[in-house]
Amino acid sequence: MSRRLKLSEGEAPRTACAHVLLRTGVVEKTGEVLTAAVLARRVGWVEALVSDMAAKLLALHWHATDVDTLASGVDAKGRALPSNAWMALRRLGWSATPTEGLRVNDRIVRMAQEQAGRTLRAAKWRADLTAGVLQSWPAEPSKRTPQEWDAVRGAVPGGRHLPSSVITARTRQIVAFRRSHDRLPSDVFELEAAPRSARMLLLSACDGQQATITRGDDPGRALLRLQLPTRPDPRCYQDWLWVACPFTLPPTIPPDALLHLPTLRVRHETLRADLAYTHAVPKVQRTGHTVALGVDWGLNTLLSAGPVRMHDNGRITALGAGGAFRANGVMAKQHRLRRESERLRAKVDHYNRLITHCDQHPLASKRAVLTDELQRLSRRRSNLNNALAWSAARWTVDQAIAAGATAIYIEDLRSMEARGMGRTLNTWLSQQVRGKIVDRIRHLAAEVGITVVSVPARGTSRHCPRCLVPLRHRKAPDRPTAPGWKWALCPNADCGWQGDRDTGAWQRIAARGLTHQVKTVTDRATGAMVIHNVVLALEAGAAVAPDTTKTRREDRSKTGPTRRETTRPAPRRRRAPSPARPTGQAGQRPEGHAHTDRKALPRAAHRHQGVTTISTASADRHRPRRAALGAGFHLHAHASPPRWVRPAPETTSRRIAQLIRDAGVG
């Protein structure tokens, strides 16, 4: 199997990850078939060995001197350290040893060193952030002045573009330490204890002597071979045997993709593998875009998006009215689960105070039941967030594909903090999954060669998309009783634009991205494309001109006699004639009607859901009927279809019946 990916002109390599479930294994020496539970148990034994060695290595080197040495990238002789963490730790002489009496091969030690090395390298950024905050400690930590914000951003590496919420969270952590110890910490290593080692197997640090992966004859199948112990405390090398684990590849992995050794995790007595693969995708461009999709964030209207076009003369026009992705019902269900989890958490804390670490207490069994229920609710909330993120990302990328856009410009709200807006609105903002949605959008857009760029959000909803004059916001004319100031009007008499504030926002975002293409840079830390600053000279040209194209009406002149229409046409629900009458006492099923014994299906929330932008409750506030009862995800997520795509004409059942009669059938 070749380990090099063949690329054509205009293609770039892309590494992604897919989740795979390993259900069985076969011991190659004896032919014994391992069930999923036995396979997960044997992998769990290896995880325990690796986690124990990594935890000891982290505790030994969790201080500023060793972290700075590893982050410097050179050893004591001035030679550059390898990029692999386990090789860098061995160059520095930091070794890991198993518990006395246990026998493991060198590849198991590699996985422990790789895991500890990655954690120590990541600690360098937290150490520099904490040092910068301590160096510019403000007089009032809860409220920094503009001068103090400039000072802390100057002291933190890369602090100019760092979200303020990150600095605020680190400040709160330091304040909590000072409240407990009556002094400031010296560094992050005093502020935080050595992190726990995650239970996982990084097979990427191994070679063919520990694990291999190959494709089978079927492109949708693969085989993972690895050495596993036959007992939790292996005493000799004979306790390690090769196990072959065949599995099915997800349909998202292309047939010509290059497979890498996965990361194994045991979760809920099942063995899961994070399978990395590399495949060829169209190369994205930083500049040269003429059609782009602008994406604006909201509360209930989670996403509002629409395309714009930049002409050769620099004129920017909007293509269509855009669309919206509404998730009112999903968020209502998410809030219900959150309230229930908070109630269970309060009960568990109360039981902990009553039990006082006594396992034989009569309330210990009740506490265990509530703890399991709390974990189940957490998994439900996580699954709901993942479903919402994938659905919103898929809708956004489909909008860009339908419009022929080569770039997606997203409003950058990393610095948005959920405070000072009321308890309800703060909770809504904290529960948003914007980060997950953006990651999914980048993942899906890279498959089709669409560039995703984050643009500054300042002034996108405040200024008019046509003349850049500050707007006036008021209630929507079609919903005067709905809470929030959803409608925007331009006070400029020469402009007079008015419309939904989200519509003006995505036009401003897309226009700003097209005019600032030359300012697009790639973030070294994340690899994402971003526009950091707004240039006034370029912003002056980021105005969306009104579309002056006149629509041409079709000629509706009468060319023949009018076809006679019946007062009651045939129902359109059925596309085939009724079946023949059965013999016997049974009756004939009526044509075009549903079964009379079927219960009413749960209806989704109304498509035109009101957008709540303030925390004030009202009597006519939208409340999805089935969200509080646990209805499914897709019943409460509504997405506008691309309006620039004409749907196929639908033929009536009367026309089909005429064709059947002409064919002499029935």
Model pLDDT, residue 612: 38
Pairing of strands 487-489, 472-474: antiparallel
The arithmetic mean of pLDDT across residues 166-195, rounded, is 92
Q: Does residue 430 surpass a pLDDT of 70?
A: no
Lowest-confidence segment of 231-235, 330-334, 593-597, 609-613 by average pLDDT: 609-613
Lowest-confidence segment of 159-168, 182-191, 505-514, 631-640 by average pLDDT: 631-640
What tens digit of pLDDT does each residue of 312-361 get?
A: 999 999 998 889 998 878 888 888 888 899 899 999 999 988 887 777 78
Model pLDDT, residue 328: 79
Residue 557, classified by CB atoms within 10 Å of its CB into exposed (0-12), middle (13-18) or buried (19+), is exposed
State in Å, rounded, how far the first CA of the chain is from the last one.
59
The percent of residues above 90 in pLDDT, for the chain, comes to 52
Residue 50, classified by CB atoms within 10 Å of its CB into exposed (0-12), middle (13-18) or buried (19+), is buried
Model pLDDT, residue 403: 92
Beta bridge partners of 316: 310, 544
User: Within 13 Å and on the Cβ side, how many CA atoms surround 180?
Assistant: 9
Model pLDDT, residue 67: 94
Model pLDDT, residue 614: 31
Quote the CA–CA distance of 86 and 116 in Å, as a whole number: 8
Contact in structure between 621 and 429 (CB atoms under 8 Å): no
Model pLDDT, residue 243: 96
Q: Does residue 572 surpass a pLDDT of 60?
A: no
Lowest-confidence segment of 133-137, 163-167, 444-448 by average pLDDT: 163-167
What tens digit of pLDDT does each residue of 487-496 get?
A: 889 999 888 8
Model pLDDT, residue 632: 55
Quote the CA–CA distance of 609 and 394 in Å, as a whole number: 21
Q: Does residue 42 surpass a pLDDT of 90?
A: yes
- Calculate the average pLDDT of the chain: 83
What tens digit of pLDDT does each residue of 617-666 get?
A: 444 444 544 444 444 566 677 788 776 544 444 444 444 455 455 555 44
Q: How far is CA 586 from the centre of its chain?
A: 54
Lowest-confidence segment of 262-266, 273-277, 482-486 by average pLDDT: 482-486
51 versus 564: the higher-pLDDT residue is 51
Q: Max CA-CA distance within the chain? A: 98
Contact in structure between 570 and 652 (CB atoms under 8 Å): yes
Q: Containing H/E element for 443? A: helix 434-447
Model pLDDT, residue 308: 94
**For residue 239, which phi and psi values (nearest 5 degrees)?**
-80, 0
The arithmetic mean of pLDDT across residues 535-564, rounded, is 78
Sequence-distant (≥ 6) Cβ neighbours of residue 109 within 8 angstroms: 53, 95, 96, 97, 98
Q: How far is CA 87 from the centre of its chain?
A: 32
Model pLDDT, residue 229: 95
**For residue 176, which phi and psi values (nearest 5 degrees)?**
-65, -40
Sequence-distant (≥ 6) Cβ neighbours of residue 666 within 8 angstroms: 577, 660
Pairing of strands 240-248, 263-267: unpaired
Model pLDDT, residue 662: 59
Model pLDDT, residue 39: 95
What's the length of the chain?
A: 666
* Token pair of 515 as six digits: 């005019």
Q: Does residue 260 surpass a pLDDT of 60?
A: yes
pLDDT range class, residue 429, cuts 50, 70, 90: low
Quote the CA–CA distance of 30 and 37 in Å, as a whole number: 19
Model pLDDT, residue 616: 38
Quote the CA–CA distance of 475 and 484 in Å, as a whole number: 7
What tens digit of pLDDT does each residue of 113-123 get?
A: 999 999 999 99
What tens digit of pLDDT does each residue of 90-138 get?
A: 999 999 989 888 999 999 999 999 999 999 999 999 999 999 999 999 9
627 versus 473: the higher-pLDDT residue is 473
